[in-house]
């Protein structure tokens, strides 16, 4: 791909995409926040608009996943969960989403019906309403099947928004479950390996899992590790916070099947998307309590404390043999069209 055209890497949630956003998108927008709320420039999971004693949280997400139906989910579930989760990791109660669909001429109405039922079921899990939408059709050779764009709206009390840039030295790092499930199951499915593995996507709304922990006011920073995976999320949190992170490899939960698929496919499970997980910094003295709360939820059973925030500028992993390596941010998510 020539350098003056968009390539797949420009949408792959790594450094290539960050550069495009900084140089071509943010540069062209003049007003990027309202009344001192979280702004477009912050590139957090959502933005906020302060309103009296509250802050409204808004986030938007376009979904181009391929294939539309995959083990553990479909584009309807991911369109609802992805947006609900970006609102949730801002520390805000998700209230509603909007749903805009661009559909290819010839698309089966039965499939659209299944996708809508799945989107609705996912919203119901988090008590989220679908309050507006748009439906467009394009000629069969102009678009690939179906693209869904969802916008999420949530609410938090003023001062209780959780950012991704506020880790403090001494905080413990918690992940709410096994890493790499979504990206690795999707890639295995695409490669025709679905009969060799029962790996499924983790796509799920995380609000019910984390709401009690948010109420404890123990979470210092939070992010959902979607495109670019855990490696991207933890590096972004550390960099924005101006701190280092030290992780213990043996404590990081990864399924055996994910390890196996990652070795077969040559893909790093830390660099692929998760769609039902949260990475959080937690006050050290409340870390065990938060872990206990999260583990009570069905999506948080495999949650673990995996390390801590330290002074420095790198994310380091302590390996089982006692060495340390730097966990870098990926250039791009190795699995394209993952969400």
Binding site for Mg ion (CB under 5 A): 45, 86, 224
- Minimum CB separation of residue 318 from Mg ion in Å reads 27
Distance in angstroms (rounded) separating the CA atoms of residues 238 and 287 = 18
Q: Is beta strand 304-310 parallel, antiparallel or unpaired with respect to 244-248?
A: antiparallel
Q: What sign does the dihedral 176-177-179-184 (CA atoms) show?
A: negative
Nearest residue to 69 via CA among 117, 108, 114: 114
Tell me if residue 248 falls in helix, strand or coil.
strand
- Measured from the CB atom, the residue of 146 and 222 that comes closer to Mg ion is 222
Closest CB to Mg ion among residues 82, 103: 82
Q: Which is nearer to Mg ion, 86 or 302 (CB)?
A: 86
**The two three-digit tokens of residue 272, written as one number:** 């692929």
Is 250 within 8 Å of 320 (Cβ atoms)?
yes
Strands (E), 23-145: 47-51, 54-63, 69-70, 73-74, 93-104, 129-138
- Residue whose token pair is 């939070």: 222
**Least separation in angstroms between CB 223 and Mg ion:** 6
Residue number, 172 or 277, with CB nearest to Mg ion: 277
Could you give the 3-state DSSP secondary structure of residue 111?
helix
Q: Which tokens is 91 given?
A: 């520390």
Closest approach, Cβ 226 to Mg ion, in A, equals 5
What's the min distance (Å) between Cβ of 107 and Mg ion?
A: 28
User: Exposed/middle/buried for 46, CB within 10 Å: 0-12, 13-18, 19+?
Assistant: buried
Task: State the nearest-atom distance from the C-beta of 293 to Mg ion, in Å.
Answer: 21
Which DSSP state fits 155? E
Alpha-carbon distances of 71 from 64, 74, 75, rounded to whole Å: 16, 8, 11
Closer residue to Mg ion, CB minimum distance, 224 or 275 = 224
Q: Nearer Cβ to Mg ion, position 163 or 188? A: 163
Determine the straight-line distance between the first and last CA of the chain, rounded to whole angstroms: 22
Q: Which residue is nearest to Mg ion (CB)?
A: 45
* Complex with Mg ion: residue 45 or 333, whichever CB lies closer: 45
Q: Are strands 93-104 and 129-138 parallel, antiparallel or unpaired?
A: parallel
Give whichever of 277 and 314 is closer to Mg ion, judged by the CB atom.
277
Q: How far is the CB of 19 from Mg ion (least distance, A)?
A: 19
Cβ-based nearer residue to Mg ion, 227 or 314 = 227
| Shortest separation between residue 99's beta carbon and Mg ion, angstroms | 18
Calculate the alpha carbon distances from 41 to 26, 83, 89, 112, 154 in Å.
7, 19, 18, 35, 20
Q: How far is the CB of 156 from Mg ion (least distance, A)?
A: 16
Contact call for residues 220 and 171 (beta carbons, < 8 A): yes
Smallest distance from Mg ion to CB 254, Å = 21
């Amino acid at each position: 791909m020539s350098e003056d055209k968009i390539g797949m890497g420009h949408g792959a949630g790594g450094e290539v995409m960050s550069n495009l956003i900084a140089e071509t998108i943010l540069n062209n927008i003049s007003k990027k926040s309202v009344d001192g709320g979280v702004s477009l420039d912050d590139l957090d999971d959502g933005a906020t608009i302060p309103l009296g004693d509250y802050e409204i949280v808004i986030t938007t997400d376009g979904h181009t996943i391929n294939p539309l139906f995959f083990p553990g989910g479909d584009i309807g579930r991911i369109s609802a969960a992805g947006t609900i989760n970006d609102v949730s990791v801002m520390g805000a109660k998700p209230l509603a989403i909007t749903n805009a669909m661009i559909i290819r001429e010839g698309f089966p109405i039965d499939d659209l019906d299944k996708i809508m039922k799945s989107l609705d079921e996912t919203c119901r899990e988090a008590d989220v309403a679908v309050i507006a939408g748009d439906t467009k059709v394009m000629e069969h050779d102009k678009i690939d099947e179906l693209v869904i764009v969802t916008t999420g709206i949530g609410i938090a009390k003023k001062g209780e928004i959780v950012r991704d840039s506020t880790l403090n030295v001494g905080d413990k790092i918690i992940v709410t479950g096994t890493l790499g499930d979504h990206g690795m199951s999707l890639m295995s499915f695409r490669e025709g390996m679905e009969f060799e593995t029962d790996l499924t996507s983790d796509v799920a709304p995380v609000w019910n899992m984390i709401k009690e922990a948010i109420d404890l006011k123990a979470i210092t920073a939070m992010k959902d590790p979607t495109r670019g995976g855990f490696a991207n999320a933890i590096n972004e949190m550390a960099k924005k916070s101006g701190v280092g992170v030290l992780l213990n490899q043996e404590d990081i939960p990864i399924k055996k099947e994910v390890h196996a698929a990652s070795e077969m496919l040559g893909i790093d499970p830390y660099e692929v998307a998760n769609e039902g997980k949260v990475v959080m910094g937690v006050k050290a003295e409340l870390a065990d309590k938060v872990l206990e709360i999260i583990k009570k939820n069905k999506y948080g059973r495999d949650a673990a404390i995996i390390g801590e925030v330290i002074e420095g500028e790198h994310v380091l992993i302590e390996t089982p043999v006692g060495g340390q390596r730097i966990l870098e941010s990926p250039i791009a998510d190795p699995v394209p069209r993952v969400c």
